[in-house]
Chains A and B, each alone.
Chain A
Amino acid sequence: MMKRLLAVWHARNLEFLRDRPTLLFTLLLPLGVVIGMGFIFGGPPRPLFTVGVIGNTIDTHANPFLHERYVQSVPIHSEADGLYKVTHQSIDLLLDLEGTARYWVNTDSPKGYIVEKLLIATGSGARRQPVTGQAVRYVDWLFPGILAMNMMFSCLFGVGYVVLRYRKSGFLKRLHATPLSAFEFLSAQVLSRLSLIIFVTAILYVAIAAIIHFHSAGSIALLLLLAVLGSLSMIALGLTIAARFASEELVGGLLNLLTWPMMLLSGVWFSIEGSPRWVQWAADIFPLTQVIDAARAVMLEGAGIGRITPNLIYLAVTTLVFLAFGAWSFRWRVE
């Protein structure tokens, strides 16, 4: 038995070692992840709670609460801005230290609940103020992110592996012998996946909204337009990966390389308010960030088309750029 096992083990090792792009990628990816993690999460321990303090600068000696470990304070320019951020889960608590200390907290936010206990325990003496207007529940805040993340996985993995399989089986080579162009083929893949994703996302939306009793503040038609443009952009991104490679391991690795940072930095699970500016800037490049920002604006605040036009334009432009790049670098057959 050992002999047979060793024979297969050896042959598989050779196959892996001789697949140069995959080997290189397998070695470089962990290195990249370590360096990236070091940049993002290195340095002092990450704060667990983000507290907005009204004022242009923060005097951390003004209140013992601000010395607590895992509490990060960010300056907030106005009370109105701070209240908006509290209700929309961007910050966990808003503090005003001018005169009699006051604070505002979103009681629907789990982190807000805990950080309030911490504030009271430190004996800061701040008084709780009523939060006016509709506070956004965490589950409502999470909803657009979850939908968009599901879309992202379906877009990237759904087309990436399919095109790879077509190439490896020789089906693409057969299509190449017909008048079909690379752009036509890729566009057909995009449209096929798009209709599927919109169908699935619509079902998910209706089902989850019914379960959590959610009502979108903004137009459903606008959300549909956003979902279409967002899906297009992410499917086209998946095609740029699938355009030329013929190794499952390499394509799988590259797709993971794209999906993980998007999942962590696009604000699906938590707001990246308070992160270094360059992290926020990098996150804005991802189509997923654009989709989630716009979806939250429409679903939670009832934003109209004017407010999310920059996001829509960004998604449309990236779709064209990714598709053009995919068509340009496309390979019909295994080289």
Chain B
Amino acid sequence: MRRVRPGDAVPEIAPILEVHNLVKQYPSVTAVDGVSFAVPEGTCFGLLGPNGAGKTTTIEIMEGILPPTSGEVRYRGEPLGARFREEAGILFQKTALQDFLSVRQSVALFRGLYGQGLDVDEVLKVCALEKLASRDNRKLSGGQQQRLLLAIALVNDPKVLFLDEPTTGLDPQARRNFWELVESIKARRKTIILTTHYMEEAQLLCDEIAIMDGGRIVAQGAPQQLLTEHFSEVLLELPRHEFPEVARQLPLKLIDASDRVEISTHDLDGTLRALIEARVPLRNLRIRPANLEDLFLELTGKELRT
């Protein structure tokens, strides 16, 4: 069930995927602990959370790869079945392909497993792999490898696409390149389920996000809506070595970061006046609105997990 929050618009589009009270229990740990949400067709839904939050377990249950301990996933109102397998495209966090196959042969192998789908050449073109078509799949760079795995995920022209941390380990350029690809897929009205721990990625691609921690969803909604809900404040950042000790006496909400001091406030004018009066040098002051990273850290904590 989609969590309806005050002020939420009633979803107009029927959900393509519904997750009902999922639980995944391992002998020593509960990886997913009662997760429910719904994904409307044609939207991009992001699962965010620190490592070990239960994102991959949740998405693998949704993909039909892992059986849940309890709860269920429904695709177009029905339990996952043959139709889901035909219509879902999946990109796992780690996938090895068959050795000695070229890029084209790897895509063609998977094309052969589906009744319906795109032409192999078309998929190669969409993922900018035409020039690499005859290269051995083991001789690709990280970004090229991810594009090939995306091509394989798209080969059946899926209605719903699962991307599990698709840009982890890629350099910034390859990451941006991959985002552009995902945006072009989004433009074709595909439903996308994405897990990531890059907030920028979530903010750019997702219509709705759920932040997970300890196997549960701790916040859910549109990125902007979540930020408005959790942060009515702006953040002022000052280099730590320029922040005089006396200024710590001011009635301000201070957060110490390693090299800077962050001040969170509703009253920007008043805070600036107070800082000027306290003779705090402001030439390196930065003012920024809170972003998803702040929200993420606020909800999941900043300390290292043990």
Contact = CB atoms under 8 A, between A and B. Distances in A.
Interface of A: 166, 169-171, 173-180, 332-333
Interface stretch (B16-24, B92-100, B197-205, B208-216): B92-100
Interface in B31-67: 63-65
Contacts of B115: 179
Nearest to A185: B113
B88 A177 contact: yes
A170 B86 CA distance: 20
Interface string B84-114: 0110101010111110000000000010011
B25 to A, nearest CB: 15
Nearest to A177: B90
B114 A173 contact: no
A171 B86 contact: no
Contacts of A177: 63-65, 85, 88, 90, 92
B130 to A, nearest CB: 23
Contact of B95 (A170, A178, A180): A170
Contacts of B97: 171, 174
A178 B96 contact: no
B94 A178 contact: no
A179 B156 CA distance: 11
B98 A333 contact: no
B90 A170 contact: no
Contacts of B29: none
B110 A171 contact: no
Contacts of B13: none
B112 to A, nearest CB: 9
14 contacts: A169-B96, A170-B92, A170-B95, A170-B96, A171-B95, A171-B98, A173-B92, A173-B95, A177-B88, A177-B92, A178-B113, A178-B156, A179-B114, A179-B115
A92 B137 CA distance: 58
Given A170-B94, A175-B113, A179-B115, 10 more contacts: A170-B92, A171-B96, A173-B65, A174-B96, A177-B85, A177-B92, A178-B85, A178-B113, A179-B82, A332-B65
Contacts of A174: 90, 92, 95-97, 152
A174 B137 CA distance: 15
Given A170-B92, A333-B65, A179 B86 contact: yes
A202 to B, nearest CB: 24
A179 B98 contact: no
Contacts of A175: 113
Which of A170, A174, A176, A177 lies at the interface centre, i.e. has the most chain B CB atoms within 10 A of its CB?
A177
A179 B96 contact: no
Contacts of B64: 177
Nearest to B93: A170
Contacts of B82: 179
A168 to B, nearest CB: 9
A122 B132 CA distance: 80
Contacts of A166: 98
Nearest to B85: A179
A170 B96 CA distance: 6
Given A170-B92, A170-B95, A171-B96, A179 B113 contact: yes
A301 B113 CA distance: 47
A311 to B, nearest CB: 35
Would you list the 4 A-B pairs with minimal beta carbon distance, nearest first? A169-B96, A178-B113, A177-B90, A179-B85
Contacts of B152: 174
B291 to A, nearest CB: 33
A169 B92 CA distance: 12
Nearest to A175: B113
B74 to A, nearest CB: 18
Nearest to A172: B96
A176 B80 CA distance: 13
Contacts of A173: 65, 92, 95
Contacts of A178: 85, 110, 113-114, 156
A179 B94 CA distance: 20
Nearest to A184: B113
Interface in B127-184: 152, 156
A202 B94 CA distance: 41
Contacts of A180: 113
A169 B64 CA distance: 19
A170 B91 CA distance: 12
Nearest to A176: B65
A178 B152 CA distance: 11
A68 B64 CA distance: 71
A177 B113 CA distance: 10
